[in-house]
Chains A and B, each alone.
Chain A
Amino acid sequence: MKATVLVRPKPGILDPQGEAVGSALGQLGFDVRDARVGKVIDLELEAADETAAKAEVQRMCERLLANPLIESYEVEIVG
Chain B
Amino acid sequence: MASPQPRIGVVTYPGSQDDRDALWALAALDAEAVPVWHEERELPDLDAVVLPGGFSYGDHLRCGAIARFSPATAAVRELADAGGLVLGICNGFQILCEAGLLPGALLRNESLRFVCRDVPVTVERNDLPFTSRCTTGRRLVLPVKHGDGRYLPPPDLDPAQVVLRYVDNPNGSVGGIAGVCNEAGNVMGLMPHPEHAVDPLLGSDDGALLLASLVDAARGRVLAAI
Beta-carbon contact of B111 and A67 below 8 Å: no
A-B contact count (CB 8 A): 30
Residues of B171-220 contacting chain A, CB below 8 A? 172
Q: A67-B62, A69-B154 are in contact. Are A17 and B108 (CB under 8 A)?
A: yes
Complex interface bits, B130-158 against A, C-beta within 8 A gives 1, otherwise 0 = 00000000000000000000101010000
A69 to B109, CA, bound (A): 17
- Distance (Å) between the CB of B176 and the closest chain A CB? 15
Verify if A45 is at the interface (C-beta below 8 Å from B): no
A69 to B150, CA, bound (A): 14
Complex interface bits, B105-123 against A, C-beta within 8 A gives 1, otherwise 0 = 1011111100000000000
CB neighbours (8 Å) of B61 from chain A are 64-65
Verify if B124 is at the interface (C-beta below 8 Å from A): no
CB neighbours (8 Å) of A67 from chain B are 62, 65, 98, 105
A65 to B112, CA, bound (A): 22
Q: A13-B152, A14-B172 are in contact. Are A64 and B65 (CB under 8 A)?
A: yes
CB neighbours (8 Å) of B150 from chain A are 14
- Distance (Å) between the CB of A78 and the closest chain B CB? 21
Beta-carbon contact of A69 and B108 below 8 Å: no
Verify if B104 is at the interface (C-beta below 8 Å from A): yes
CB neighbours (8 Å) of A17 from chain B are 108, 112
Verify if A25 is at the interface (C-beta below 8 Å from B): no
Q: A67-B98, A69-B154 are in contact. Are A14 and B105 (CB under 8 A)?
A: no
CB neighbours (8 Å) of A70 from chain B are 105, 107, 152
Complex interface bits, A1-40 against B, C-beta within 8 A gives 1, otherwise 0 = 0000000000001101100100000000000000000000
Complex interface bits, B9-21 against A, C-beta within 8 A gives 1, otherwise 0 = 0000000000000
Q: Which residues of B contact A (CB under 8 A)?
A: 61-62, 65, 69, 98, 104-105, 107-112, 150, 152, 154, 172
Given A64-B69, A69-B104, 15 other A-B residues pairs in contact with their CB atoms under 8 A = A13-B152, A14-B107, A14-B150, A14-B172, A16-B109, A16-B110, A16-B172, A20-B112, A65-B61, A67-B62, A69-B105, A69-B152, A69-B154, A70-B105, A70-B107
